[in-house]
Amino acid sequence: MTIDKNKKGQGVGKSNKKKNVDFLLKKEWFEVNSPKEFGEKSFGLTLGNKSVNVSKTIESLKNRNYKVNLNDIKSAEDSSHKKLTFKCYDYDEKNCLTGFCGLDTSRDKFFSMVRKWQTIIETNSDIRTKDGYFLRIFLVAFSRKRRNQTKKTSYIKASHIRTIRRKMNEILIKEGAVCLMKDLIPKLISEKLVDEIGFYGSKIYPLQNVIIKKVKVLDRPSNF
């Protein structure tokens, strides 16, 4: 046994205790702006890596998704159930530049329209805009009673459902083929497009509460 040997933990050496480092010192805040179609308004802040190299800063911010309520960007009471998704593609002077990436309807709004004794018609359509955007749009419509109908139910025949779906897809594909993305977005947000679909669909069977449930941007042009 060695007399001068230090006991475990009593020797002179480096401390194993971790230093408390604030990770926010290596980060900085960036403002997130909405796309041009929504007025380029600032709707929030996000953290990014602090770096002298601009390319590293862009890489840390690029392809981030931001979800925001439409009512926060456009002051309209009837649009509070619509949720938008923006994706960051570039930054400029502490501002994140975003592009439209998707649209969704809140769960509460959708289930508030579901009733007994009616038929729900759901369809989705892939469309390509004039400037090269590829979108998938999900549509939902509900049947309603005919005028002066005494029968409690308003169920639609399977053959009529197929015809209504075909008409919905025709209108969406036709609208997307002649529109640029910047012109299509206001139509998707407003009630103009769904009113047209409801008008032509009601000629086959009376419809109500025609809504665009979801929109996904699957592909965008290379020069975006």
CA gap 155, 172 in Å, rounded: 25
Map tokens 């025609």 to a residue: 210
Q: What is the pLDDT of residues 186-204, one digit of tens each?
A: 888 888 899 999 999 999 9
* Under 8 Å between Cβ of 215 and 188: yes
CA gap 137, 124 in Å, rounded: 5
Q: Tell me what percent of the residues of the chain surpass a pLDDT of 70.
A: 87
- Residue 213 predicted with pLDDT over 70: yes
Residue 9: Cβ-neighbour burial (10 angstroms; 0-12, 13-18, 19+): exposed
Q: Tell me what percent of the residues of the chain surpass a pLDDT of 90.
A: 45
| Closest of 64, 73, 65 to residue 42, by C-alpha | 73
Backbone angles phi and psi of 43, in degrees to 5: -125, 5
Q: What is the pLDDT of residues 8-48, one digit of tens each?
A: 555 555 556 666 766 677 788 888 888 888 888 888 888 88
Confidence of residue 53 (pLDDT cuts 50, 70, 90): confident
Structure pTM? 0.81
Confidence of residue 116 (pLDDT cuts 50, 70, 90): very high
CA angle in degrees (0–180, nearest 5) for 45-51-55: 90
Residue 47: the pLDDT is 84
Q: State the chain's mean pLDDT as an integer.
A: 85
Q: Give the rounded distance of the alpha carbon of 33 from its chain centre.
A: 15
CA angle in degrees (0–180, nearest 5) for 127-128-130: 140
Is the model more confident about 137 or about 71? 137
DSSP-based three-state secondary structure for 55 = helix
Alpha helices per DSSP H over 7-119: 54-61, 70-73, 107-112
Q: How are beta strands 95-105 and 82-91 bridged, if at all?
A: antiparallel
